[in-house]
Amino acid sequence: MGGGDVPIGFGVVGAGTIGRVHVRNVAARSDARLCWVVDVDRSRASALGEAHGARIATTLDDMLADPAVHVVVIASSTDAHEENVLATVHARKAILCEKPIGNSLDGARRCVDAAQQQGTIAAIGFNRRFDASHRAVHDRIRAGDIGGVESVHIVSRSYEATPPAAAHRAGGLLREKGTHFYDLACWLAASDPVEVYAAGDCLFDCGYADYGDVDTAALTLRLASGALATFSFSRRTAYGYDETIEVFGARGMLQSERLRPRGVSLYRGPRVTADGIDANWYDRFAPTYAAELDALIAAVRTQSPGDPSLVDGLRAQAVAEAAIESLAQRAPVTIREVWR
Amino acid sequence: MGGGDVPIGFGVVGAGTIGRVHVRNVAARSDARLCWVVDVDRSRASALGEAHGARIATTLDDMLADPAVHVVVIASSTDAHEENVLATVHARKAILCEKPIGNSLDGARRCVDAAQQQGTIAAIGFNRRFDASHRAVHDRIRAGDIGGVESVHIVSRSYEATPPAAAHRAGGLLREKGTHFYDLACWLAASDPVEVYAAGDCLFDCGYADYGDVDTAALTLRLASGALATFSFSRRTAYGYDETIEVFGARGMLQSERLRPRGVSLYRGPRVTADGIDANWYDRFAPTYAAELDALIAAVRTQSPGDPSLVDGLRAQAVAEAAIESLAQRAPVTIREVWR
Amino acid sequence: MGGGDVPIGFGVVGAGTIGRVHVRNVAARSDARLCWVVDVDRSRASALGEAHGARIATTLDDMLADPAVHVVVIASSTDAHEENVLATVHARKAILCEKPIGNSLDGARRCVDAAQQQGTIAAIGFNRRFDASHRAVHDRIRAGDIGGVESVHIVSRSYEATPPAAAHRAGGLLREKGTHFYDLACWLAASDPVEVYAAGDCLFDCGYADYGDVDTAALTLRLASGALATFSFSRRTAYGYDETIEVFGARGMLQSERLRPRGVSLYRGPRVTADGIDANWYDRFAPTYAAELDALIAAVRTQSPGDPSLVDGLRAQAVAEAAIESLAQRAPVTIREVWR
Amino acid sequence: MGGGDVPIGFGVVGAGTIGRVHVRNVAARSDARLCWVVDVDRSRASALGEAHGARIATTLDDMLADPAVHVVVIASSTDAHEENVLATVHARKAILCEKPIGNSLDGARRCVDAAQQQGTIAAIGFNRRFDASHRAVHDRIRAGDIGGVESVHIVSRSYEATPPAAAHRAGGLLREKGTHFYDLACWLAASDPVEVYAAGDCLFDCGYADYGDVDTAALTLRLASGALATFSFSRRTAYGYDETIEVFGARGMLQSERLRPRGVSLYRGPRVTADGIDANWYDRFAPTYAAELDALIAAVRTQSPGDPSLVDGLRAQAVAEAAIESLAQRAPVTIREVWR
């Protein structure tokens, strides 16, 4: 990549919600340059990319042939991820791939194998690791503040439910939402997943059942260290985007608590009423997407591996696939160690 | 019982930790009278009972023959509960039985059958239901504040670990500690338990394994309503007695949060340091034991059933026995509906 | 007093609200004995004292002549304090005097002089010093946690307004309520008061003005150390008894925050609604009255001075009298150092 | 100004700390254009302005003659404000003037008179009004949530002390810091200031005394409504930038509490340790500067007066000048109603 002064060139594949986040963040940086926006729907790509001076395409070919592009952000639909990753590896560009890597463990494995053989700098879009609170919990665990991790509890409840068909296309509750949090648990506990048990049901929208999916789930994950992680997921809340972490250890307990963006409290009668949590995931996690780019650009500058890496993505996906099987079988399922 | 002015006579069986709590609470009331303290160890019974003017015995016979005794509090060791309950039922006294009812589901069932045939007023010592915060959560759920319950998460972590042998005698983690919380989950969600999955391990003291027990556990309980309850248990913390409840529903979420007995905060450098939670369960829950007596005395006065009843105890114990089986089999276990 | 085993004999003068608190607390102790209850209204004294086996009188004479009485709690109306204190000093009993010592600084000074000449163990009823949170703030300041104290802010807002005439009889806002908090400020900052400025008005009940009193006040107190204390008082709130302390120092800041007796929070829509603070001062401060007796009984047993002492009461009253003058003059007033 | 599509042209006078904030915020907007950066130090102006494509000058003349400039942001040193405001008024541009308007009340009054005669859109840089929490408190007061305002308490403590000479040049503690908070109190209570009493001292750096200034202050402000406002100021803390508001009313109490940017808590031993508040005012209030521009641009688009206006700035300054006099005289001072 040469000197740190040359902006890093980016191509973004996928002009949907998350693609827009990446495009805005790349465009706002002085150390990066948005070169291409690719989407199967040219008008969607244009609407997003032209305002930022990017070139537009419906396939990856021209972008991958452009030597100005150093990094490809893969934010296309999940079922296109594998093809996009393999082509980008082949073109010897760095990768930031949105999660999950794909809809099958074998496909995800093929992506990781290709990137490893090629020595590709390949990061996975586990933005939660870049949240200042979550990361502080991680760092303080590593610093020994709570001793060995014995249990982890993670809540993730979306504000507005993704409709069943779209949820299914994105990978389903246990794969699309879940991978973020299986990764967090492994990262926080510094241990690999061993076995998962998933219980779940359609409690408010039986439409998810048409796709073998659920709207509510409780999971238990055993880690190699012996630590036990539990997860509580819901597709929607009546009070905002709800994500919290509690890590219990031999010497103490750490929380990444619910954050209130405003500090207003009203005392009246027998109650105190405070402003609640952020309404949606983006308000809550916007800074993490910029921090994710910081890390990736630093990796490209120093030619170090992406972190979190595609391998982390594969590990989380191995949990997801086992969780999906567990849900169907109503029994705990051993996780295939495909990431080793 | 006649007029509300006559004090209710109490006999307390068992002069251990929890027996002492009941003796003190009965003795402090103007509407109750402590008549007997019974313990197999006469000196222990004397040490506790004489200060309060109670008569002393090593067996229940004389106490049960005493017409001044209206209520028997059974706080003996768990393996004596069944015999004590059956004798008390036979003597036509009201019962407050500590949990678990016994160490086997069949024994617990015999207790319930006997009490039901006799029409005994029989309460179970689920004192957590009388905690002002937990109860407020319950009452607000019933009032519709969060709509239908979809998930429940309960944390219970003791401050100081009961040693393995004593823990085993008391029923073990999933039975002695667990029954409180299975009951809370069912009570809060107003639903019966259907299936339980228990994961657990010895993470800090492998001595528990000698008794087939664990020091750390994560459980998932399916309720008949479809709601999913998760439980996170530990035998000890480094920061006090930790018990919290979170109930998530269609229209909102209710918490019984960690309570700080003091309101001191220190702002210095980049941190705020506050006084922590209560060190032990008794500091946290002392008022619940008095409230439990309030309820029982009211039940005796009005000849209404104990609430929570021995049947609630049996239901929770059915969960416990299935959880213990699940732990051994590493698979979810269907709960036997013995309480119906 | 001889051996620690003999219960300390108490006489309580005044059978009003605060007298009842003391009577109950003395009666509940095993190391104290309630001997007399004195009130100008014999029926009121009887109603309170007979239930606890105390003797009853309408004047202090018989009580003071009774050698079984070691301590006299003076909870009579403020205008009777001076006469009661002087008689008790003369009878060589220990004293716990409710605040303020009296309605004039000269009278208060006479009480202190008499007690000092006689070597009387004389405590003042500044129960706030015994609050676990307030005391922890004090102890951590002394331990150096925040360095030198630079400013103090104290809020005290009653829940239900004392009606104007009764408020006047008790000493008025700046004297009856204020003395608690002037004392806290001096105690926390470990410094004497120098000058006070009081601003105040009748904002919700102009009836207080008939007595030269106000329902709302803001005060600034300069301490000899240079520290500045501010006070915000109100006669009533719409949300419970509100008392908080904030102490700012060179190295940090300490708070005695609002305490919530229950830990219930409801998340719904854009708000979090929690249970509020205690409704009244007694719910908030009940344990301080027992702790106050602990300290006094220990002082009597060891023949050490009462702490906080009548001199502390005099110091706080000197602030009160200056504050009342400041309110009338609309100018800061230098505090007379009568307590030296 | 014509159609909403044309970007508003800005000139920024002053390339210091606060000038840089405005330059960055103007440059980041699509509805505004940064035309000029003016500073007496050309190199400082260039360093800031050129990166954003602005023209550079050391005096206002060319900028004021440029028809592309619609708004002048006056962020020069306080003693240049009056001259800058008058010139800008004369040039018929809109104004955003940093506070205080000037170092004398007469000068501030001349600015307001000129702007009013000319009908200038003139806003004052009271960015605190744009803080989401503070504004929510204001809006809920206006909505009647706490009834009539009876008392206000505002804390403002800087993190790092401005050295005495620089603090003096900026206006001193009671003028430079104070005007923000006098304005907040009047705005929240919807009432005008009547009388102020200021107590203060040099508690950690006697260098302030060389300029007649203090490092610590406590003020009491009477409002025309009868409400009492108190202020607690310090030049530095050991724990971050500390600003809170508490407004007490007849029907309830509203707080703008300390906000924690991260949600991390560690439970260990008898303490809970949480991440503290923002280290500096900019981290805490960055969004308010952008919101301030939103409001000003809207005012320019609709030709409505600036809000908060230069008149609000004059009112706050009248309080400041009286407070400074009070500090010197050690007596409350009536505020001159120069803003009417």
Query: From the CA of D82, how many Å to the nearest CA of chain A?
Result: 36
- Mean pLDDT along residues B87-110: 96
Query: From the CA of D79, how many Å to the nearest CA of chain A?
Result: 35
Pick the CATH number of A8-127+287-308 from 3.40.190.10, 2.60.40.1220, 1.20.1250.20, 3.40.50.720: 3.40.50.720
The minimal CB distance from D151 to the residues C148, C232, C246 is found for C232
Instruction: Give the residue numbers in C contacting A (CB under 8 Å), as ranges.
Output: 237-240, 242, 260, 267-277, 279
Question: Which residues does chain C have within 8 Å of residue B133's beta carbon, measured at their own beta carbons?
Answer: 262-264, 275
In the numeric block, which tokens belong to residue C52? 């606890």
- Mean pLDDT along residues B248-260: 97
Q: Which residues contact D333 (CB under 8 A, 6 or more apart)?
A: D195, D196, D197, D322, D323, D325, D326
- Mean pLDDT along residues D121-141: 98
Q: What residue ranges of chain B are covered by domains with CATH 3.30.360.10?
A: 129-284+316-334
Query: From the CA of A266, how many Å to the nearest CA of chain C?
Result: 9
Q: Which residues contact D91 (CB under 8 A, 6 or more apart)?
A: D64, D65, D72
With contact defined as 3+ CB pairs under 8 Å, the chains touching B are A, C, D
Phi-psi region of D237 (alpha: psi -120 to 50; beta: other; left: phi over 0): beta
Q: Has residue B2 got a pLDDT over 90?
A: no
Smallest CA–CA distance from B278 into chain D, residue: D270
Q: Has residue D1 got a pLDDT over 60?
A: no
pLDDT tens digit string along B313-323?
Answer: 999 999 999 99
Q: Tell me, what's the pLDDT at C3? A: 46
Smallest CA–CA distance from D277 into chain B, residue: B270
In the numeric block, which tokens belong to residue B100? 């678990």
Q: What is the count of residue pairs from B and D with beta carbons less than 8 Å apart?
A: 59
Report d(CA C163, CA C141) in Å as an integer.
37
Q: Which fold has domain D130-284+316-334?
A: Dihydrodipicolinate Reductase; domain 2 (3.30.360)
Smallest CA–CA distance from A245 into chain D, residue: D264
End-to-end CA separation in angstroms for chain A: 29
In which band, very low, low, confident or very high, does the pLDDT at A5 lie, cut at 50, 70 and 90?
low
Nearest partner of A324 among A228, A189, A226, A198, judged by Cα: A198
Q: Tell me, what's the pLDDT at D166? A: 95
Q: In whole angstroms, how far apart are CA A73 and each of A18, A102, A158, D271?
A: 10, 15, 24, 44
Smallest CA–CA distance from C264 into chain A, residue: A271
pLDDT tens digit string along A23-60?
Answer: 999 998 989 999 999 999 999 999 999 989 999 999 99
Which CATH superfamily is D8-128+287-309 part of?
Answer: NAD(P)-binding Rossmann-like Domain (3.40.50.720)
Q: Has residue D104 got a pLDDT over 60?
A: yes
pLDDT tens digit string along B293-331?
Answer: 999 999 999 999 999 999 999 999 999 999 999 999 999
Q: Has residue D191 got a pLDDT over 70?
A: yes
Q: What is the mean pLDDT of chain D?
A: 96
- Judge whether A59 and A42 are in contact, CB under 8 Å: no
Q: A269 and C238: CB-CB below 8 Å?
A: yes
Q: At what angle do helices A105-118 and A310-329 cross, to 10 degrees?
A: 170
Q: B228 and A216: CB-CB below 8 Å?
A: yes
Instruction: Give the residue numbers in A contacting D (CB under 8 Å), as ranges.
Output: 132-133, 136-137, 140, 145-146, 251-269, 275
Identify the segments of chain C with pLDDT beneath 70. 1-5
In the numeric block, which tokens belong to residue B169? 């005698």
Q: In whole angstroms, how far apart are CA D79 and each of D85, D100, D120?
A: 11, 10, 21
Q: What is the count of residue pairs from C and D with beta carbons less than 8 Å apart?
A: 112
- Judge whether B104 and B175 are in contact, CB under 8 Å: no
pLDDT tens digit string along D259-299?
Answer: 999 999 999 999 999 999 999 999 999 999 999 999 999 99
Q: What residue ranges of chain D are covered by domains with CATH 3.30.360.10?
A: 130-284+316-334
Q: What residue ranges of chain C are covered by domains with CATH 3.40.50.720?
A: 8-128+287-308
Give Cα A176 distance to the centre of its chain.
8
Classify strands A71-74 and A94-97 as parallel, antiparallel or unpaired.
parallel
Q: Tell me, what's the pLDDT at D2? A: 43
Q: B269 and D238: CB-CB below 8 Å?
A: yes
The minimal CB distance from B218 to the residues A151, A251, A252 is found for A151
pTM of the model: 0.96
pLDDT tens digit string along C74-120?
Answer: 999 999 999 999 999 999 999 999 999 988 999 999 999 999 999 99
Q: What residue ranges of chain B are covered by domains with CATH 3.40.50.720?
A: 8-128+287-309
- Return the CATH architecture of domain B129-284+316-334: 2-Layer Sandwich (3.30)
Q: Tell me, what's the pLDDT at A3? A: 46
Q: Which fold has domain C132-284+316-334?
A: Dihydrodipicolinate Reductase; domain 2 (3.30.360)
Q: B232 and A230: CB-CB below 8 Å?
A: yes
Q: Tell me, what's the pLDDT at D3? A: 46
Query: From the CA of B295, how many Å to the nearest CA of chain A?
Result: 25
Q: Tell me, what's the pLDDT at C5? A: 66
Q: D133 and A262: CB-CB below 8 Å?
A: yes
Q: D271 and B274: CB-CB below 8 Å?
A: yes
User: Class assignment of domain A132-285+316-334?
Assistant: alpha beta
- Judge whether B178 and B154 are in contact, CB under 8 Å: no
Question: Which residues does chain D have within 8 Å of residue A260's beta carbon, measured at their own beta carbons?
Answer: 259
Burial label for A24, CB within 10 Å (0-12, 13-18, 19+), is: middle
pLDDT tens digit string along A293-313?
Answer: 999 999 999 999 999 999 999
Query: From the CA of C70, how many Å to the nearest CA of chain A?
Result: 42
pLDDT tens digit string along B271-287?
Answer: 999 999 999 999 999 99
Smallest CA–CA distance from D254 into chain C, residue: C239
Q: What is the mean pLDDT of chain B?
A: 96
User: Class assignment of domain C8-128+287-308?
Assistant: alpha beta
With contact defined as 3+ CB pairs under 8 Å, the chains touching C are A, B, D
In which band, very low, low, confident or very high, does the pLDDT at A102 lie, cut at 50, 70 and 90?
confident
Q: Tell me, what's the pLDDT at D123? A: 98
Q: Has residue A338 got a pLDDT over 60?
A: yes
